[in-house]
Amino acid sequence: MKLSNYLSEAGISLDIQGQSKSDILSSLVGILEQMVSLKNSAEIVKKLEERENLKTTGIGSGIAIPHCKSTDVDKVYVVIGFSKEGKEFQSLDEKPAHFFFLLVAPEKSGSEHLKASAKIVRLIRDEEVRKDLLELGSPQEVIEYIKLKED
């Protein structure tokens, strides 16, 4: 299983919009809507916000991995948003987040979303990778870079 298998150009924003955590989550779900027809995107945002209220998914080092399960999807989807300037996301290290990896999985999914999350963490924990990703100029370049790092 490779992270790149879950990516599409439509699912990558090089400049994620929003100032608040809620705005950012809404923007990420908006990107997801460009990939798959959602019956109730507001419900997904609500689930993500509820998850954030339990414990932030801003894991530190500029990384946030918001995630939830939904009946609106039939497979795991990954959406990526970048912010060069960084966004306040109530991260564990209290620093701005630059990398947002949204995972939305089917309600009855097994461990596939956990494997995808682990792949994200393995990729993005490398400081050099984080630096490189912020310099890329297109979603296609992001996917190509991730494929290169996976091989």
> pLDDT for 66-83, tens place per residue?
999 999 999 999 999 999
Question: Once rounded to an integer, what is the mean pLDDT over residues 93-98?
Answer: 96
Q: Is residue 16's pLDDT more than 90?
A: yes
Per the structure block, which two tokens stand in for 94? Answer: 């209290």
Query: CA nearest 104: which of 138, 69, 79, 135?
Result: 69
CA dist 23 and 121 (Å) reads 23
Contact yes or no for 29/17 (Cβ under 8 A):
no
Query: CA nearest 58: which of 100, 9, 16, 24?
Result: 100
3-150 maps to CATH 3.40.930.10:
yes
Which residues are 113's β-sheet partners? Answer: none
Contact yes or no for 32/38 (Cβ under 8 A):
yes
Reported as a pLDDT band with limits 50, 70 and 90, residue 131 is: very high
Mapped onto helix, strand or coil, the DSSP state of residue 10 is helix
**pTM, whole model, 2 decimals?**
0.95
Crossing angle of helices 127-135 and 112-124, in 10° steps, is 90
Q: Is residue 53's pLDDT more than 90?
A: yes
Query: CA nearest 148: which of 127, 135, 132?
Result: 132
Query: What percent of the chain lies above the pLDDT cut of 90?
Result: 90
- State the chain's mean pLDDT as an integer: 94
